[in-house]
Structure 1
């Protein structure tokens, strides 16, 4: 029989020298089984030991703090991080100052005559007369005259109170050619000494129209015309003129001591005509 190849392990050991059949060795097999069991037992004990240690070292994230009652910081939070500064409260904004209303009565500066100037001012009227008819009797004669509350060009208050009569109102428009001829006649009447001592004469500049002749009326009546009596600046809508039923320019109205209308007239009169109208109305 040929020899076995080198490096191979035979499946069975050769028998005794007596030449009997070969047999396996059962004692060696049980030894290996016992060693394996010991190894498995030791490995199991090692696993149990390591597991117990891990249970003791485990840290629970998110537990409750016994002292404060607040939850711990979450994992990954930097304990050394600076706390966020609280936001400073913003200062309250100042209320916006309210603006002055337009088209209302003038302010204190204007009403005390300290320099604020205007060609027209608001006018308050107590009543309105019917318009002067072109012919025939005047239906307004004997009727209570309207009270006018307004201002001069510099904002000085002017009140035409019928109860303080007699009063003569002269309504004038700066662009009116008849007015431009009549004012010198009124001045001549003033200078003649024929004006009744107790008669108040007040001009009312009305129908003010920028861009028309002799605008502005303040320059026209004082500087160009040489007017020296008081002047009431009518409103932009000519409220004073409408209250007295003005039908044309120039226009004059006389109020008696009893506060009623004594007469109204429209058109150029001249110095003599003015004197006759006043004398007739006052009686």
Structure 2
């Protein structure tokens, strides 16, 4: 016997085993390069205690595929509620409210549910508007019997007197709203005169014609979008 107590022998043996790499800390420490351990003793000491190799990436806690599925499901449930969107006058949408003052200052609100409607966006300074106005007068008279009404929107005419002179010169048979500020025009997304918007009796925009149009072109459009449904509703052949 060498005089060493049993408890001391056990502690000495355990210490030798750890130094030789027999324990967890010894295994991790043995895998670290000596030069790195000298340069970063604190960092590598912590890694050794955690049993993790230097440079190893942490284990992902979220499966990327599950995350992708969650994002896709969220996208399906977060679609905008288009029923709350403001009307913009495009085909297939509800026509924006049309209300204001006529050229003589009288209040006017167009009720789209009373009749099918042809909106004529025009201006006194517009050359093509002057050219096509006689044909519009003819069409307005023709389709009145089919419960199709015409309304004008005088857009961006800053002199109301000039607009009234236009109406008097061409004997325009339908009323026009005075839209000097362009708010009504903007609601219907009309860029410039002349332009035409057709609205059915449900208040839905069913046709548009931007730019100059001949009488025949407008007649064909009205027949396709408005007059056909009128004939069907009345039982006409």
TM-score (norm 1): 0.47
**Residues 162 and 255, structure 1, Cα contact 8 Å, conserved in 2:** yes
Map Cα deviations across residues 215-235 of structure 1 (whole Å, 9 max, x no partner). Answer: 6101112x211101122111x
Instruction: Report the alpha carbon displacement of residue 248 of structure 1 after superposing the two structures with TM.
Output: 2.4
Q: Does 1:270 align with 2:214?
A: yes
Map Cα deviations across residues 158-183 of structure 1 (whole Å, 9 max, x no partner). Answer: 10233334111101011011111111
- Find the residue that maps to 1:186 and give its secondary structure: helix
C-alpha separation in 2, matches of 1:161 and 1:190: 17
**Residues 147 and 162, structure 1, Cα contact 8 Å, conserved in 2:** no
Residue matched to 2:182: 238
C-alpha separation in 1, matches of 2:137 and 2:115: 21
Structure 2 unmatched ranges of 5 or more: 1-84, 229-237
Specify which of 137, 143, 146 is matched with residue 96 of structure 2.
146
For the structure 1 residues 177 and 217, does the alpha-carbon distance in structure 2 shift closer, same or farther, using more than 3 Å as the test? same
- Aligned residues between the structures: 143
Specify which of 162, 166, 173 is matched with residue 220 of structure 1.
166
**Residues 168 and 253, structure 1, Cα contact 8 Å, conserved in 2:** yes
For the structure 1 residues 153 and 161, does the alpha-carbon distance in structure 2 shift closer, same or farther, using more than 3 Å as the test? same
**Residues 200 and 206, structure 2, Cα contact 8 Å, conserved in 1:** yes
TM-score (norm 2): 0.55
Structure possessing the higher radius of gyration over alpha carbons: 1
Structure 1 unmatched ranges of 5 or more: 1-125, 131-139
- Find the residue that maps to 1:163 and give its secondary structure: coil
